[in-house]
Each structure stands twice: as structure tokens, then as C-alpha cells.
Amino acid sequence: MYVFGFVSPMSIPANLLLVPFFSFVIMPSGLLGLAASFLCESFSTQLFCLCMDGIGVILKSGELFGSLKPVATPWLPWVFLTYAGLITGFFAGRSRTRAILIAVSCILIVSIPIARQASRSVQPMSFDFISVGQGDSTLITRGSYAMLIDAGGSYSGFDTGRFIVGPHLLERGITSLDLVVITHPHPDHIGGIPFILQRFPVGEVWSNVSSYHSAGFQDMIRTTREKSLPLKTVGLGDTYEHGGLRISVLNPQIPLEDRMDSMDQNIHSIVLKVCDETMRGLFMGDADGLGEIRTSRLDGDLSADVLKVAHHGSRRSCLNMLLDRVNPGIAVISCGEKNPYNLPSRDAIKRLENRGIRVYRTDMHGEITITPANMVLGVKSGRVHADN
């Protein structure tokens, strides 16, 4: 559970059957066949065939019992406590103290995960900007509600969904997602999505376009069909509310049913405003340039405490007309260390700094978590960036 994050619920009863079968049937047959090979080749062959058939039964059973479910990463004290209880139970001498220690261990082993889950249900809204190298991925949580915006890319066989985003969710105690948003189907945003959809229960998937030719988008479509996940193409005016949480779609202007060769997917990225009574965030995807101009001309309140900068801080992002409307206190740029595009651009950084906006970058600060606390926003930067 701690190392891999995914377990088969049927693995325990399966092992109760398969381990004795291997120990008392397959292993003795194999050893006997090895010994018989010096005396009778045909008898030895029959025993080895029996072994292979038995292993085939185990493999077939593994396919039936091998459905993996995500498990929240347990705390290290819980892991140590579990082993301490096992060691005490197996090796300590029978005594009243031993019985008390085992009883206390069992109570804590059960109560700690329950208490952790209960504490999560009352947590305030949080924005987690996950360090996925040159890409985007943002986790938004409020109580037990969790939504994921993009999941980084997949480069040279390195799947950020499998190795970065998935483990981040499990470390935060998240084993299911209410909403997954694919801002646009470029590889650095959608590459890790198929793994997330395959391994985590998901309530609904939002996309800015209903069809696209890229491999990542086709994998996403295939997974949503296999798992019967609702897939919705969203546009300006679409909203979602959960308790005090409100999600508003500000871009694209209309839901895009089909991809056209001349279409700039960056401009048509999904732009979201996510807010509750404690914090407001504007998430721009890659909608820089014309996307920012369109957004800044919308009616309604665009002000936000946190701005997820468009297109990894490109030269056409953070335009003054958008910053006038949003007036953020914090700007977060998701980008990779020493990326070949030289992002973020100095022009975008300068426009933010001239307004006194605090700038955080995943290439410099690693994972960035923003939460409200006592009428101010708390920012915590996590482990080193994904490039390391």
C-alpha cells in the first residue's frame, strides 16, 4: 500500500487459496520432477507439466483477482505501528502486557485511517499545483470534493499520470475524483490523463473539444467508453456547484464539437473560475494572447486571489488588461526546469512583478499548495521539481 498505492481487494482471499496450492502442490511436484529426471524422463516430464498447468491456473486466477483499487498512502507511523503489532503478536511471550499492546495496536490501526478521512472531509479549499515538468496539472479540493485539471504529459515512456500525479493524489488521501477537466488535448496537458481515468473512480470528465486526432485524446476517449464515464464538451456559461463550491467555465466561447486543422487549441483552452467563500482562483490553461483578451472582455466579476498563468508564462500571457480585471495576489506558473522554450518569459514575469503580485513557479518551488487561513492565503512549496 505504501510503495505501490494500488491493491487488489481480492488479493487476501486469493492468497489464502493460491499460496497453499503453490506450496503443497506445485513446489513438491517441481522438486520431485527434478529428482526423477535422473531416473525416469517420462515421469519427470509429467511432473513438470503438472507444475506448468498449476502455474497457468495461478496466472488465470490473477487475471480474475487482479482488479486494482487506489488506496490512500498510509502515514509512516501507521506502517510502523502495523509491523510493531505483528512482531509483538508473533514473537512476544504470552503475557497480559502482550495482549494489551496487540489490542492497542489493532485499535490504532483501524482508527488512524478513519480519523484521517474524517479530517479531510472538513478541510478548506486548497489549490495544489503539481510539479509535472513542462506541463500542467492542478488539484483542487474542498472537503471530500476533488477535481483535477490536466495531468501533465507522457515523454519517452515517462507517464506523469502514473509516476507523479497519481502518487500525489494518494498522498493527499484522494482515491476518487468528482471531476477531471482536460483544458485542451495537447500532450503536456492530456498525457497523464488516461492513467488517471483507468486507475481512479471519476464522476465526470470535461473537455474543450469532442474529437481530436492525438494519441492522448484517443486513449482518453477509449478509457471513458470502457468505463462508461460521462464526457462533456463545455463552453462559456457552463457551471457546476457543490455545496459552497462554484465552478464557472469562461472559455471557449462555445463548446467545440469537432477539431479543425486551423484551430488554435491554446486559445480555445478551458478557462475556469473556481471559488467559495474563502478563496477564488482563475485557471487559464494555455489561453494566452487572444484567449486572455476574450476573457478580460467578459461581463461579470473576474477578480481572483490566485491566477494560474496561461501557457506556462509565455510572452503573450499576463496581459495588463487581464491583470486589471483579475487583480490577483498570487500568480502560479507551471513549467519545467531549463525547458527548451525558455518559459516563463521575462515579459510576463515583469508585468506581474510591476504590480507586486507574488510569483511562484513549479520549476523553482516544486509542488505549490495554496490554502486560506485566518483571512490570508498560505503558500507552501513542496518537494523539488519533477525534472529532478
Whether the pLDDT of residue 378 is over 80: the answer is: no
DSSP, residue by residue, 269-334: --EEEEE-SS-EEEE-TT--THHHHHHHTSSS----SEEE-GGGT-TTSS-HHHHHHH--SEEEE-
User: Looking at domain 126-381, what is its CATH homologous superfamily?
Assistant: Ribonuclease Z/Hydroxyacylglutathione hydrolase-like (3.60.15.10)
Give the C-alpha separation, 330 to 328, whole Å.
Answer: 6
Question: Residues 135-147: what's their mean pLDDT?
Answer: 96
pLDDT band at 381 (very low <50, low <70, confident <90, very high): low
pLDDT at residue 224 tops 60: yes
pLDDT of 13: 78
**Cis amide linkage into residue 201, ω under 30° from 0:** no
pLDDT at 262: 63
**Is 202 exposed, middle or buried, given 0-12, 13-18 or 19+ CB atoms closer than 10 A?**
buried
Could you report the per-residue pLDDT of 283-300, keeping only the tens digit for each?
Answer: 999 999 999 999 999 999
pLDDT of 258 reads 58
Domain ranges of the chain: 6-67, 76-120, 126-381
DSSP track, 192-222: THHHHHHHS-EEEEEESBS---SHHHHHHHH
DSSP H or E stretch at residue 99: helix 96-120
Q: Quickly list DSSP for 155-183.
A: ETTEEHIIIIIHHHHHHTT---EEEEEE-
Q: Tell me 223's DSSP state.
A: H
Pair 246, 279: CB distance under 8 Å: no
In the three-class reduction of DSSP (H, G, I as helix; E, B as strand; rest coil), residue 126 is classed as strand
Specify the pLDDT at position 234.
95
Say if residue 74 is preceded by a cis peptide, omega within 30 of 0.
no
In sequence order, what are the beta bridge partners of 245?
242
pLDDT band at 260 (very low <50, low <70, confident <90, very high): low
Portion of the chain with pLDDT greater than 90, in percent: 69
- Residue 2: its pLDDT value, please? 85
Q: State the average pLDDT for the chain.
A: 90
368 exposed, middle or buried (CB, 10 Å; 0-12, 13-18, 19+)?
buried
pLDDT at 385 over 60: no
Helix axes 41-65, 27-36, angle to 10 degrees: 160
Determine the 3-state secondary structure of 378 from DSSP.
strand
Full-model pTM: 0.85
Rounded CA separation 195/154 (Å): 10
Among residues of the chain, what percentage have pLDDT more than 70?
94
What is the DSSP code (8-state) at residue 26? I
Q: pLDDT, tens digit, for every residue of 82-103? A: 999 999 999 988 899 999 999 9
332-363 pLDDT tens trace: 999 998 899 999 999 999 999 999 999 999 99
pLDDT at residue 43 tops 60 = yes
pLDDT for 259 beyond 60: no
| Lowest mean pLDDT, pick from 115-129, 192-206, 232-246, 257-271 | 257-271
Rounded to 5°, the CA angle 241-245-249 comes to 60
Could you tell me if 149 and 138 are in contact, meaning their C-beta atoms sit under 8 angstroms apart?
yes
The predicted structure's pLDDT at residue 255:
78
Instruction: Of 148, 102, 111, 154, give the one whose Cα is nearest residue 132.
Output: 154
Which range has the top average pLDDT, 37-41, 50-54, 320-324? 320-324
254 burial level (CB within 10 Å; 0-12, 13-18, 19+):
exposed
Q: What pLDDT does residue 388 have?
A: 45
Q: What is the mean pLDDT of residues 131-140?
A: 95
pLDDT(303) > 90: yes
Long-range contacts formed by 152-157: CB under 8 A, 24+ apart: 152/188, 152/189, 152/191, 152/192, 152/386, 153/187, 153/188, 153/189, 153/190, 153/191, 153/192, 154/187, 154/191, 154/192, 154/216, 155/191
Q: Is the pLDDT of residue 242 over 80?
A: yes
Residue keyed to cell 502515514:
75
φ and ψ at 279, to 5 degrees? Answer: -160, 150
Query: Per-residue pLDDT tens for 170-206?
Result: 999 999 999 999 999 999 999 999 999 999 999 999 9
